[in-house]
Structure 1
């Protein structure tokens, strides 16, 4: 069943139940009020009849005439003995009343009775008749006006219910169309996306500021995010394919060379093995870097512990100095170079930045460690080729290289800085690059002293 049908049926059903309960209550109250008024009226008339009988001279009175004078309009008075037929029947107007069933009542009572689909007010009261016998004085009055009023009330309530129900059904249909229009648009848009294999958003002519408008807005934001991630994925796959194509081509070329001359020429054999080994290592490193970048932030395993940044800088610099025979100077400007961080990730971060500084400069490298407030600052400065200002914003893009000088021979794969930025973000820090072309580059890391409220070390100003 469609939602629109459910909305119409549910709203109509509840309104119908409400109308039935309300109309029944109105009819019940009106019916009871009218009958109570008829009983009170008949009780007054019976009292008048009794008063007339008491004042009359029983020896000379004509009860037929006396009772007729007190007879209600279109009513009837009967004198009923305990057994047998009525002693006296006085009828005014409607002679069919005398054929109504009767019964002797010993006590006083007044009721409204339904006889042959008509309402009658019937009252009984015991009196002493002329023969000193106790009889029942019955006064009967047809409630024609009450029946007429109740019929009119029924018609009014039914017509009023229809007048309310019909517009409600129409209004419910219109309202359901208004409510479901954004949902139908969403379904249509999703079907178009499925058929066309493209990203599309819901058209929003105006903002209604309701939940359905929020749904459309959320869907459009989701489409933007999916499209952006899809483009990034396409770009990443394209860049990765491009980066892997060269080492694979080299490996294939040297493999073919080995098949042709490798066994006959030792020099070619050695050169081919060295080239294949070098490119295999490069592909392994490139693959590891790409897998690292492909992981979401929630997949990073961060082991927080107290880390001595000065000690890590000395250790990392020592290995790189030996590997590249370059001078690396470390300046520690604080007595407390301690932070809460992941030691392995910080080592990887420093290795990336120092390695970049070595690759893109031929002079010494300076590393400065300082502390200000709740943050520790690490500045890595090289005096090399620098980065043009217009390229600074793109250095964090994957596989991006600034110019011809930063090629595969002198530079890396273009994944170092994206990884560095991701490590910094995982530690809630910041990275800033300042560079002047031809003079050098300074990369400044800003790391919080405490990683979380539960892992803090004493804050001591330097």
Structure 2
């Protein structure tokens, strides 16, 4: 069943049930109040008759004549003795004769109603001292035809009122369902177009409002933007990866042909070819490993979180690179130790990437700063190299990105180092910041959550 029909059915049935409950309550309450009122009136008439029978001198009056003035319109009076026999019966002239129920003597006042031949009747029985001194039961019975007519009229009025409520409510539910389902149908149509045509398409939002339907459409459009951006990044990644792998494969193929043709005859060609093929194969392996690392979601990385000292890690990395490359690294810190909960090997990998970049693009000393900044601990690497143009700063962490003049293939590596570093920092719920002034300096700062402040 369509949602549209479900809205019709649910709104109509719910309103119908509510109307039935309300109308039934009104009808039952009106019937009870009016019936009780009629019985109270009959009771008052019966008491009035007993008062009249208790007056002096009534014993000399004929019983039939005595009760005649008290006879209710469209009703009946009966006097019942102790043997449950009707000794006096007076009935008003009417179109329909009064039903003759079996007489029954009662020593206490009672009232009620009964149905006969589709008509409702009310009766009241009260004890009375008859003219001869015996205790009798005076029964006053009256037709409730007028009451039935009023209840029937009320029933018709409630029925018509319910129709006047249900019909507009049905059309209102239809308009509401169309209003609710319009953006949903638009979203379905947009999704079908995307599926058929293979394009990224947004839902047209005619009116800007704060309701949930507008938010749903706006969220869908934002999701489309994100999917399109990710798709374009994926396409760019595939294109860049193909381009990056094409060069080493071409080199390997060329040297393989050279080796096949002259390798057995010229030892120098053999040595050069083997060295070139080995070098390109190593570079391809490193690039492939880096691309596989970037392909993993940060949430899927198995981080070995342990308490570590950033000052010690940075000092160790600086000493190792100093011994390996003979470069100068200056460690600056106002803290003797900076503890953080992190994966030590992954943080070392980030630090090595930053230091490696600093060494490639600067021949001066590299400065390493470690400290605590409010809710974070941090370490930064600053070089005095060629710098990065301001317009290229937002793209530095993109895969395979190189600044044209400042990052060449010979010095820039695969262009994946900073992308990997950012993914590692993101996996630690940290932040990596880049500052640079072209031709003067570049500074990269890594911020990590401060565990001590969070306790």
Normalised-by-shorter TM-score class = 0.7 to 0.9
CA contact (8 A) 2:85 2:103 kept: no
The CA RMSD over aligned residues, in Å, is 3.1
1:32 aligns to 2:32 (yes or no):
yes
Shift of 1:127: 4.8
Partner of 1:317: 322
User: What is the DSSP-based 3-state SS (H/G/I as helix, E as strand, rest coil) of the residue aligned with 1:401?
Assistant: coil
Tell me if the contact between 2:190 and 2:202 (Cα under 8 Å) persists in the aligned partners: yes
Structure 1 contact 434–443 (Cα < 8 Å) conserved: yes
Specify the SS of the correspondent of 1:55.
coil
Please report how far the alpha carbon of residue 370 of structure 1 lies from its aligned counterpart in structure 2 after TM superposition.
6.0
How far apart in 1 are the matches of 2:372 and 2:101?
110
> Retained in 1: the 8 A contact 2:380–2:444?
yes
Q: CA deviation at 1:30?
A: 1.5
1:317 CA displacement: 2.5
1:72: how far off? 1.4
Relative to structure 1, the CA distance from residue 56 to residue 72 in structure 2 (aligned partners, 3 Å threshold; closer, same or farther) is farther
**1:306 maps onto 2:309 in alignment:** yes
Find the residue that maps to 2:97 and give its secondary structure. Answer: helix
Cα–Cα, structure 1 residues 302 and 202, in superposed 2: closer, same or farther, change >3 Å? farther
Deviation at 1:278, TM superposition (A): 0.6
Write out aligned runs for 1:227-242 (5 A).
Answer: 227-242=228-243
Match of 1:381 in 2: 383
Pick closer, same or farther for the CA change 1:73–1:180 going to 2, 3 Å. same
2:273 is matched with which residue?
Answer: 272
Q: Structure 1 residue 226 and structure 2 residue 227: aligned?
A: yes
- Partner Cα distance (2:165, 2:260) in 1: 93
Q: In the alignment, which residue of structure 2 is the partner of 1:434?
A: 436
* 1:452 corresponding residue in structure 2: 451
The 1:34/1:349 distance shift into structure 2, 3 A limit, reads closer
Q: State the 1:274 CA deviation.
A: 1.0
Alpha-carbon offset, residue 20 of structure 1 = 1.9
* 2:69 matches 1:69: yes
Structure 1 residue aligned with 2:101: 101
1:364 CA displacement: 4.2
Aligned to 1:356: 357
Task: Using the TM superposition, give the Cα deviation of residue 157 of structure 1 relative to its aligned residue in structure 2, in angstroms.
Answer: 1.5
Q: Cα deviations across residues 148-189 of structure 1 (Å, max 9, x unaligned)?
A: 211111111211222222222222222222222222222222
Q: CA deviation at 1:45?
A: 2.1
- Which 10-residue stretch deviates more, 276-285 or 213-222? 213-222
CA contact (8 A) 1:310 1:369 kept: no
Correspondence for 1:460: none
Pair 1:443–1:133, CA change in 2 (3 A):
closer
- Assess if the C-alpha contact under 8 Å between 1:337 and 1:369 holds in 2: no
Shift of 1:261: 2.9
Q: Say if 2:368 and 2:381, in contact at 8 Å, map to a contact too.
A: yes
Query: In structure 2, the residue corresponding to 1:103 is in which secondary structure?
Result: coil
- Check conservation: 1:339, 1:376, Cα contact below 8 A: no
Q: Specify the alignment match of 1:206 in structure 2.
A: 207
Q: CA deviation at 1:213?
A: 2.4
Superposed counterparts of 1:364-375, under 5 Å: 364-369=364-369, 371=371
Structure 1's 103 and 360: CA in aligned 2 closer, same or farther, altered over 3 A? same
Alignment of 1:52-451 (within 5 A): 52-55=52-55, 57=57, 60-80=60-80, 86-94=86-94, 96-97=96-97, 100-107=100-107, 108-127=109-128, 135-300=136-301, 301=303, 303-304=305-306, 305-307=308-310, 308=312, 309-321=314-326, 327-330=327-330, 332=332, 334=334, 336=336, 338-340=338-340, 341-361=342-362, 363-369=363-369, 371=371, 378-383=380-385, 385-403=386-404, 406-425=407-426, 428-437=430-439, 440-445=440-445, 447=447, 451=450
Alpha-carbon distance, 1:372 to partner: 7.0
Structure 1 position 413, deviation (Å): 1.8
- C-alpha distance after superposition, 1:377-424 (max 9, x if no partner): 5443245x5545554444333222333674323432222333344445
How many residue pairs were aligned?
446
Change (3 A) 1:48 1:242: same
Q: Distance in 2 between matches of 1:390 and 1:39?
A: 96
Distance 1:2 1:260, change over 3 A: same
Q: Evaluate the alpha carbon distance shift between residue 376 and residue 434 of structure 1 in structure 2; reply closer, same or farther with a 3 A threshold.
A: same
State the secondary structure of the residue aligned to 2:187: helix
3-state SS of paired residue (1:403): coil
- Work out the CA distance in 1 between the residues paired with 2:350 and 2:368: 15
**1:185 match: secondary structure:** helix
Deviation at 1:237, TM superposition (A): 0.7
CA offset digits 1:410-446 (Å, max 9, x no partner): 4322223333444455563544343443xx5433435
Question: 2 CA distance for matches of 1:382 and 1:59?
Answer: 136
Q: Which has the larger displacement, 426-435 or 177-186?
A: 426-435
Give the distance between the partners of 1:342 and 1:420, measured in 2 at CA.
Answer: 13
Question: What pairs with 1:10-21 in structure 2 (closer than 5 Å)?
Answer: 10-21=10-21
Any unmatched runs of 5+ in structure 1?
322-326, 457-462
